[in-house]
Amino acid sequence: MLQLKLPDPRKCRLFAMLIALPWLMNGCGGGSLSKGLNNIQEQAMSAVSSYKSAKYYYESGDIILARRAALRTDPNRPDYADAQALLKEKIEPARLKLLRHYRDSAERAERQGKLYLAKDFYLKTAAVWIGDDKMQKEADRIDLILRQKRLDALAEQRRKEDAQLLEALDRYDPPKGLDPQDTPFARELERAQDRVLARGRNALNAAKRELREGHPEVAYVEAESYQRLRPGSRLGDRLMQDVREALPKSLRIPSEAKSSRRTVRSTSSSRNKPPANVTAEQIQQLMAEGKWLEAHDYAMMYRRDGGDDADTLLQSIDKTLKKQAEEAFRTGQMAFQQEKLDTAVEAWTQAALLQPENRDYTDSLRRATELQERFRILQGNTNADN
């Protein structure tokens, strides 16, 4: 049975710097990682490579760093033989067990059509795969499939939405008997034109942002929308040129003539769906009962229905959710430092549920869950190729 343990809290800052895990740095009060962290990590590894450091990384669940430390141990060191024995008897079997688990999980997820999971598992396999980039290529292959699906679906949806906006421009001709310049109809047409112009501006800004953030397929959808709503714009032409240059060559632009039916999938939730007509009293009752997530759902529906005090209610709810999320995150940090990984995952899950838009919470949960999974996989010995 492999004996695995979390990092000693007193060594947390050094450990975080060496293995580049921002969530550990948060737990120790550290700052953001610099661009040159990889070089620092390599230098640190060269300086501390030994049986002791290899054993430390192994017990902390970072099998690849343990392997590197063992391989880089100076043959002239007195602990060189111990480091090589650790590599052969524990580190390498653990790496092979992780490799087999991740690779099998990736292939199973792909067969089941869960491509986002397949990509994640192929990336995990690549992290413990030695010798070539075969698994990275598998992850890249799945990534392109996902991006194509994203492009197809978003393009189809946006084209429908834009068509509805543009069709509205032809719906405000006064009927027979009214003045051809009827003021109410003219105002409605002006409002329809304003909606088209506003959507075009939003599409332009969104395309630039998505392009900067490395999502050229999403940027394409936005740039195409801008060209559709603002035909003849030279700015739109230049933007589209930049987007097309950034698009992977293997991505196919869906034809505008192609239309497919979309099936609305039902979703399940642990929270009750808001009723058709939400009242402020219902929201306040949920707040009094401490059901803040449900209160938030109700308040969002209330605002969509034009509730006068919806914004005030939402501000109060969001403030409470933020406070609860911060408390849950701190609880997770303390639990992690005390080597209580399951408790940390539970607390960070709650923090991410309360504020899913907070990247610190979601990233910490993801990495902690990966570490938790890794520890569980390594409770035993199996063989694998590579």
Q: What are phi and psi of 168, to 5 degrees?
A: -65, -25
Question: Tell me: the pLDDT tens digits for 324-342?
Answer: 999 999 999 999 998 888 9
Asked if the model's pLDDT at residue 308 lies above 60, the reply is yes
Cβ 321 vs Cβ 355: under 8 Å: yes
Is pTM beyond 0.75 here?
A: no
Cβ 71 vs Cβ 84: under 8 Å: no
Question: Tell me: the pLDDT tens digits for 214-233?
Answer: 999 999 999 999 999 988 88
* pLDDT the model gives residue 372: 86
Question: Tell me: the pLDDT tens digits for 9-51?
Answer: 434 433 333 333 333 334 343 333 334 444 545 445 555 678 9
Question: Tell me: the pLDDT tens digits for 94-138?
Answer: 999 999 999 999 999 999 999 999 999 999 999 999 989 999 999
When the pLDDT of each residue in the chain is averaged and rounded to a whole number, the result is: 82
> Which residues touch 166 (CB under 8 Å, ≥6 apart)?
196, 228, 229
- Cα angle 329, 332, 333; round to 5: 90
Spell out the domain ranges in the chain: 142-246, 280-377
Q: Which of 90, 96, 42 has the alpha carbon at shortest distance from 69?
A: 42
User: Distance between CA 234 and CA 226 in Å, rounded?
Assistant: 11
Can you list the pairs that 7-14 forms with residues at least 24 positions away whose Cβ atoms lie under 8 Å? Answer: 7/60, 9/337, 9/338, 9/339, 12/337
User: Distance between CA 340 and CA 332 in Å, rounded?
Assistant: 9
Across 202-208, average pLDDT: 94
CA dihedral 75, 77, 82, 88 (to 10 degrees): -30
* pLDDT the model gives residue 147: 96
Instruction: Write out the E strands in the chain.
Output: none
Across 244-259, average pLDDT: 84
User: Residue 1's pLDDT band (boundaries 50, 70, 90)?
Assistant: very low
Kindly indicate whether the domain formed by 280-377 is annotated with CATH number 2.40.160. Answer: no
Mind giving me the DSSP string for 277-311? S--HHHHHHHHHTT-HHHHHHHHHHHHHTT-TTHH
Lowest mean pLDDT among 52-61, 76-85, 261-270: 261-270
Can you list the pairs that 341-350 forms with residues at least 24 positions away whose Cβ atoms lie under 8 Å? Answer: 341/6, 341/368, 341/371, 341/372, 341/375, 342/372, 344/368, 345/369, 345/372, 350/324, 350/325
* pLDDT the model gives residue 380: 57
Interhelix angle 115-128/134-168, nearest 10 degrees = 150
Cβ 188 vs Cβ 172: under 8 Å: yes
First vs last C-alpha separation in the chain = 22
Across 363-371, average pLDDT: 88
Cβ 88 vs Cβ 80: under 8 Å: no
User: Distance between CA 222 and CA 158 in Å, rounded?
Assistant: 8
* pLDDT the model gives residue 23: 38
Q: Kindly state the percentage of the chain with pLDDT values over 90.
A: 49
Residue with tokens 């010798």: 131
